[in-house]
Amino acid sequence: MTAEVSESTADSDRGSAFDLSVVVPTLDRTGPLSRLLESLGNQEGVRFEVIIVDQNPTPLLEAVLKAAETPYPLRHLRTPEIRGASRARNHGLAEASGAAVLFPDDDSWYPPGTLLRGLDLLKSQHVDAVFGRPTDTAGRTINGRFEASRVLVDRSNVFTTHIEWMAFFRTTSIRSVGGYNPKIGVGAPTPWQSCEAQDLSLRLLSQGQSLLYDPDLIGHHDRLDTENPDRSMRRRARRYGRGHGFVLGRHRFGPNRALYWVIRPIGGMLRGVARLNIDQVRYYGSVAAGRIEGYIGGRYSKIRPDELDQ
């Protein structure tokens, strides 16, 4: 399965200083960040740089980065004035020197060979971006539903193929759409606190760019406990649900498609009722309510979509 990429993009890739720039926005984490940096040190066959976009208001990372013995170039950008994961990614993207770019979460990590496989797919399949599957260390899919086989990404599967920290982009391609929308995602100054990845995919697709998902390309992350969600996770569920609904509405998915994504968490609520698990009922109820609120905000708001990019 291949798709075409422009000759000019391929030419610009060959002239880059690195094969890959790894841009890591981080806030309030030290141990997980050390784990990520260690996993990057086990990657071979790729010339890459790591750019830490440090949003901490205090020098929290000084000891962590000083202790890190990295076999790759590491740049530390102190940006306490920047808020929001999307803004931080865009800040690092502006500084990137690689032909491709990857945006890990600061609590994700990668098995050996991940970077090489991602770049090999990007080149061999002649696409503008390659997305992989989030798993636990046993290889089981986590934190969402993802496609079981390799597919080209389109509007029908965009919500089951892309998670932010498992996405390799040609740098020229992601820059051509201005990177992530700073008004969407965790820490954004809006109620829309998730699905900045899908918003980005949809904007890339609208330009005719080719995106590939391969479930054999995997990375690791801690599993979200949806069986016993605490109060903090239940609050996040509504914020994240709003982001999902907003992207559905903003990109003009019809009511039937939105209803599908509302019905799914209602199934989770019913499982919680059957198990007498009130926290699970509340969690999935928050997801459903957030998606409804977000869809209304995205589809029927008087704010034009282009105004949100400012």
3: pLDDT strictly greater than 50: no
pLDDT for the residue 303? 54
Tens-digit pLDDT profile for residues 59-93: 999 999 988 889 999 999 999 999 999 999 999 99
The whole-angstrom distance between residue 241's C-alpha and the CA centroid of its chain comes to 15
Instruction: Give mean pLDDT, residues 162-180.
Output: 98
Tens-digit pLDDT profile for residues 235-244: 999 999 999 9
Helix (H, G, I), strand (E, B), or coil: what is residue 132? strand
Question: Would you tell me which CATH number, out of the four given (3.30.1330.10, 1.10.10.60, 3.90.1150.10, 3.90.550.10), belongs to the domain 7-221?
Answer: 3.90.550.10
The percentage of the chain sitting over the pLDDT mark of 70, rounded to a whole number, equals: 92
Q: Which helix (H) or strand (E) segment is 32 a member of?
A: helix 31-41
Domain ranges of the chain: 7-221, 231-300
Instruction: Give mean pLDDT, residues 226-243.
Output: 93
Q: How confident is the model at residue 16 (pLDDT cuts 50, 70, 90)?
A: confident
Tens-digit pLDDT profile for residues 282-310: 999 999 999 999 999 999 876 554 455 54
* CA atoms of 95 and 79, how far apart (whole Å): 13
The mean pLDDT value of the chain amounts to: 92
pLDDT for the residue 302? 61
Q: How confident is the model at residue 15 (pLDDT cuts 50, 70, 90)?
A: low
Cα 47-198-207 angle, rounded to 5 deg? 80
The whole-angstrom distance between residue 284's C-alpha and the CA centroid of its chain comes to 21
Contacts of 15 (CB under 8 A, 6+ apart): none
* CA atoms of 140 and 303, how far apart (whole Å): 40
The DSSP line for 231-272 is HHHHHHHHHHHHHHHHHHHHTT--HHHHHHHHHHHHHHHHHH
Instruction: Give mean pLDDT, residues 255-273.
Output: 95
Tens-digit pLDDT profile for residues 112-125: 999 999 999 999 99
Report the predicted TM-score, pTM, of the whole model to 2 decimal places.
0.91
2: pLDDT strictly greater than 60: no
Q: How confident is the model at residue 227 (pLDDT cuts 50, 70, 90)?
A: confident
Contacts of 310 (CB under 8 A, 6+ apart): none
pLDDT for the residue 310? 40
pLDDT for the residue 212? 98
Which has the closest alpha carbon to 214: 136, 122, 144?
122
* CA atoms of 88 and 195, how far apart (whole Å): 16
Cβ atoms within 10 Å of 224's Cβ, excluding its own = 14
7: pLDDT strictly greater than 50: no
* CA atoms of 122 and 303, how far apart (whole Å): 36
pLDDT for the residue 286? 96
Instruction: Give mean pLDDT, residues 178-203.
Output: 97
pLDDT for the residue 175? 98
